[in-house]
Chains A and B, each alone.
Chain A
Amino acid sequence: MTKLVAVADGLGRRFGENWGLKDMSLTLEKGKLTVLVGPNGSGKTTTIRILSTLLKPSKGSAEVLGMDVLTDFKKIRKRIAYLPQGYEVNRNLTPAESIKWNLVARGAPINEAGLDAIEWIEKMGLEKCKDRSCWALSGGERRRVAVSIILSTNADLIFLDEPTTGLDVEARYATWKIVRDSLKDGATVLLTTHDMKEAETLADTAIFVKDGRNLMSDNPQKLIDSLPSRYRITIKKEALGDRFVKESVDVGDRLVVYAKDEDEVRRFQADFHDLTGIASVNRVGLEDVYLRLIKGDESYV
């Protein structure tokens, strides 16, 4: 039987006259990584801040670890950890000190915290800079320290708000690995991102968020498989000539068109005698699911 770690029903939050979150319902399964994906200002951070008990909902209800966020917030906080978007590590500490003393501040015995810090330094590839104060680290290295501080808590439910923003490719993959590995230790993770590729790579469940609402949620591959097309072809407008393309996404001097299968791709390619008119051919992904969703394409629904 699936165990639910968090359940939100019709959550909304008003900031003055504006509803930052209008109608968010979701469930988080134990041991799974759920990703809230959507554009900036869509309500992802507000959702996380309500579930992590930083904000009270203006409407709706939410239970985290079987406890109500309004009445049992003190108990909830003992079992969660939260990495806010834009979190800045204390630059006066080294990475090792940051992890160790933050663990002690959260109740870990000092010796244990020291050993955990060493382990996490290795996991996050911070050995070379473990004894340098965070003043001397790059933005990406500081971000990795921040992620380590939160993941090392071994909390039952971990909230990560845009944890890989600003990281280079190598650091981002290292962070993805660590986040997925933390699930093996029994953690449940709710992560937000505006990067569809990140959601596709990481998520057990992806939840599309827009204008403060949950548009759709499911396993990323199921969402992708539900699309009528399998391929997206990026073509240069200048190469289009008189050809008419009925469904496309305009990206300035290029168009993105969709093909149902490989045969249709080949037919398209055959149509373009000069293949330099075709910029790229890729399989569809979550981004395409999202585009069709917000366009209100009925063939998708």
Chain B
Amino acid sequence: MFRTIRQIIGVAIINIKAIQRQPLWIVQTTISVSAWALTMYAWGSTRALDNLVLVYIVAGSWALGMNTVAQSIGWERLDLIYDSNVASTITLPIYFLGKIMGLAPYFLVNLVISMAVAATTGMRLLLFLPLMFVAVVSLILGSFLSLSIILRLKTPTNISAITNTLRTLTINLPPLYYPLAFLPGMLREASLIIPTVSLMEMARWVIHTPTECDPILSFISLLSWLSVSVLLVAKKLKWGSE
């Protein structure tokens, strides 16, 4: 077991070095996340700030999975680092967990700032415990969906262009930063087909705040997406023996 933990740390350190050597990426994340919080605060909306706490958890973990982890795996497949790792003592769980650990600082920025925002609105910090469960689901689903697309690319390409677009499509456009109630009646339920919207509803449900739609619908949407993404990734994300 200690050897496995060591291996995960090894993979994590390799990935964390990217952040250490290129710190401007995390500076950008910090500025962006802080700016949104400041904007909402300046407009004086406590409701918006409460919502922002959930967005940072859901969107932060989603982006970690979809944009960061999946992108990193995609690039390592092209650079053949992935193949070298397969033909070694590194297993897929070690690789995946190490990668998440190494790239987690991006999510930690979201977590710290959302906790700071929660403290200003009087939200209980204990509620972050159930929210971490939502974060895990969001991370896994985000990375699997992204990988199911990246791994099907036939020609080497700029993977970032694809994952950044996916990230923007699933976070900025759907009702995450703005309330689901903003959409007219039928569209609210229809929008649950977008996994990030369902994740937001699930986040509201776990901290016992009112949800716009029946939570069952969000669960069904997320379960369906998880099943589909697991199947799609399992077909393509082989750890050797292809």
Which residues does A use to contact B, with CB under 8 Å?
A: 49, 52-56, 70, 73-74, 77-78, 80-90, 92-93, 97, 101-110, 133, 135, 149-150, 153, 155, 159
Do A56 and B241 have beta carbons less than 8 Å apart?
Answer: yes
Cβ contacts under 8 Å, B124 to chain A: none
B93 at interface (Cβ–Cβ under 8 A)? no
Instruction: For residue B149, give the distance in angstroms from its CB to the closest CB of chain A.
Output: 22
Nearest residue in A to B9 (C-beta to C-beta)? Answer: A104
A89 to B14, CA, bound (A): 11
A54 touches B88 (CB 8 A): no
Beta-carbon contact of B88 and A88 below 8 Å: no
Q: Is the CB of B87 within 8 A of A80?
A: yes
Sorted nearest first, the 9 A-B pairs with minimum C-beta distance are A105-B10, A104-B10, A82-B87, A88-B79, A84-B80, A52-B87, A92-B21, A92-B18, A87-B80
Contacts of A49 in B (CB 8 A): 83
A-B contact pairs, 26 of them (CB 8 A): A52-B240, A53-B240, A53-B241, A54-B86, A55-B241, A73-B241, A74-B91, A77-B86, A77-B87, A77-B88, A81-B87, A85-B80, A87-B79, A87-B81, A87-B83, A88-B81, A92-B17, A102-B14, A104-B7, A104-B13, A105-B90, A106-B90, A107-B6, A109-B6, A110-B6, A159-B87
Q: Mark B11-35, 1 if CB is under 8 A from A, else 0.
A: 1011001101110000000000000
| Nearest Cβ on chain B to A106's Cβ, whole angstroms | 5
Q: Name the interface residues of B193-242: CB closer than 8 Å to any CB of A.
A: 240-242
Give the interface SS of chain A, mostly helix, strand, loop or mixed: loop
User: What residues of chain B lie closer than 8 Å to A159, measured between beta carbons?
Assistant: 87
Complex CA gap A92/B94 in Å reads 21
**Given contacts A77-B88, A90-B17, are A54 and B242 in contact (CB under 8 A)?**
yes
Chain B residue with the shortest CB-CB distance to A49:
B83
A53 touches B87 (CB 8 A): yes
B17 near A93: Cβ-Cβ < 8 Å = yes
Which positions 107-126 of chain B face chain A at CB distance < 8 Å?
Answer: none
B87 touching A105 by the CB < 8 A rule? no
Given that A54-B240, A84-B80 are contacting pairs, would A106 and B7 also be in contact in the complex, using a CB cutoff of 8 Å? Answer: yes
**Interchain CB contact (< 8 A) of A101 among B13, B18, B241:** B13
Chain B positions 56 through 88: 1 when the CB is less than 8 Å from some CB of chain A, otherwise 0: 000000000000000000000001110111111
By a CB distance below 8 angstroms, the chain A residues around B13 are: 101, 104
Q: Is the CB of B10 within 8 A of A101?
A: yes
B98 within 8 A of A: yes
Majority secondary structure, B binding face: helix
A96 to chain B: closest CB distance in Å? 12
Most chain A CB within a 10 A radius of its CB, from B11, B85, B87, B94: B87
Q: Which residues of B contact A89 (CB under 8 A)?
A: 81
Q: Which of A77, A93, A104 contacts B6 (CB 8 A)?
A: A104
B3 at the interface (CB under 8 A from A): yes
> Who on chain A is nearest to B242 by CB?
A55
Given A80-B87, A90-B14, A101-B10, decide whether A133 and B240 contact each other with a Cβ distance below 8 A.
no
CA distance in complex: A77, B70 (Å):
24
> Nearest chain A CB to B30's CB is how many angstroms away?
19
Residues of A within 8 Å of B20, CB to CB, are: 92
Nearest neighbor of B19 in chain A, beta-carbon distance: A92
Asked if residues B240 and A73 are in contact (CB atoms below 8 Å), the reply is yes
Q: How far is the CA of A87 from the CA of B84 in the complex (A)?
A: 8
Complex: A103 Cα to B13 Cα, angstroms: 12
CB pair A56–B81 under 8 Å, yes or no, is: no
Which of the residues B3, B22, B88, B94 comes within 8 Å of A81, measured between beta carbons?
A: B88
Whether B158 is near chain A, meaning CB under 8 Å from some CB there, is: no
B89 interface residue (CB < 8 Å to A): yes
B87 surroundings in chain A (CB, below 8 A): 52-54, 77, 80-82, 159
Whole-angstrom CA separation of A195 from B79 in the bound complex: 23
- Contacting pair B89 A77 (CB below 8 A): yes
Interface core residue of B10, B17, B86, B88 (most chain A CB under 10 Å): B88
Which residues of B are found within 8 Å of A103, using beta-carbon distances? 10
Tell me which of A70, A73, A84, A106 contacts B83 (CB under 8 A): A84
B83 touches A54 (CB 8 A): yes
Inside 8 A of B90's CB, which chain A residues have their CB? Answer: 105-106
**Is A82 in contact with B89, judged by CB distance below 8 angstroms?**
no
Contact A150 B84 (CB under 8 A): yes
Residue of B nearest to A153 (CB): B88
Distance to closest chain A CB from B208 (angstroms): 42
